[in-house]
Structure 1
Amino acid sequence: MDWLGIGVLVIGVALLVLVILLIKPLNKLAGVFANLQKTTDELPQTVVDVTSQAKEAIGAGTDTLKQINTQLKELSPLFYIVGDVGRATNQMSSSMVDAVTKMESKTTAANDLTHRKNLEGLYGALTLGFFIFQKSRELAKERNVIDVN
């Protein structure tokens, strides 16, 4: 045998040893690829299931939002009424504050006179009598209204 034949024989034996050493890892790699194939075969169905569940959840959310919007449309006139009542109450209270301020400014001079002449007790008693008189008239009117019905 010449040198070329010996070299080819050595290379062949080396490749045979390499193949024998790589058989076990290559078989394990083949098993990994088989499991990967099983996983990827199931993947499209899993994606379909997930997307269908997502569609159902989004549909339910949309339906809920539609119901809420419908209910809010039904309630919005009530909110407008409450807002109008609030504005009217605000205007009425500001009008009352203005009236009280005007009354206070008008009665300042009379109040000074009362303090100078020491008539606070007399005016207090007259005021109390006036309020009692008004209250008795209101109660009498209420009794008449109740009796009529």
Structure 2
Amino acid sequence: MDWLGLGVFILALAFAGLIIILIPVMKNLAQTLGNVADTVETANKSVGEITGEVTVILHNTNETLVDVHGKMQKVNPLFDIIHDTGQAAHNFTSTFANYTGAKADKANDGISILDKKNLEGILRGAAFIYYLKELQKEKKAADEAAD
């Protein structure tokens, strides 16, 4: 045998040794790839089931939104009425405030006249007498109702 044949023989033995060493690695790789295939198949089934459930949930959500939209359309006129009522109340109170402002000016004029002529005590006395008469009327009406 010549050197070339001997070199080829050594390379063949090294290649055979490498193959023998790689056989368990290749078996583990084949097993791992089989497990990955099973996992992917299980994931595909799970995704299919989840997709079905999500489709049902989306359908129910759409029905709920349509129902809520219909009910909001029914309630919108009520909010319009409340808004109009608020506007009317605002207009009334602003008009009343303007009216009472004018009356307040006249009342202030009257108070200044009372202050100038020292008639405040007389008016308080008249108010007290009026209050007492009203109490007597209420007491008399309560006594008559009790009899």
TM-score higher than 0.5: yes
Q: How many residues align?
A: 133
Match of 2:6 in 1: 6
Unaligned runs of 5+ in 2: 138-147
Task: Output the TM-score relative to the length of structure 1.
Answer: 0.78
> What is the correspondence of 1:1-149 to structure 2 with a 5 Å cutoff?
1-124=1-124, 129=130
Q: Provide, for residues 84-141 of structure 1, a one-character-per-residue CA deviation record: whole Å limited to 9, x for no partner.
A: 11111111111111011000112332211101112223334656859x99xx9xxxxx
Taking the aligned partners of 1:88 and 1:75, their CA distance within structure 2 comes to: 20
* Identical positions, percent: 26
Distance in 2 (CA, whole Å) between partners of 1:125 and 1:29 is: 113
- Could you tell me which runs of 5 or more consecutive residues in structure 1 were left unpaired when the two chains were aligned: 137-149
CA distance 1:124–1:101, change in 2 (3 Å)? farther
Amino acid at match of 1:61: T
Deviations 1:27-84 (A, max 9, x none): 1001001111212233332222222222112111111111111111111111111111
Return 70-79 or 115-124, whichever deviates more.
115-124
Q: Return structure 1 stretches of 4+ with deviation > 6 angstroms.
A: none
Q: Secondary structure at the match of 1:93?
A: helix
| d(CA) in 2 for partners of 1:126, 1:51 | 87
What is the distance in 1 between the residues matched to 2:106 and 2:65? Answer: 59
Rounded Cα–Cα distance in structure 2 between residues aligned with 1:111 and 1:123: 11
Q: CA RMSD in A?
A: 2.3
- SS, match of residue 25 in structure 1: helix
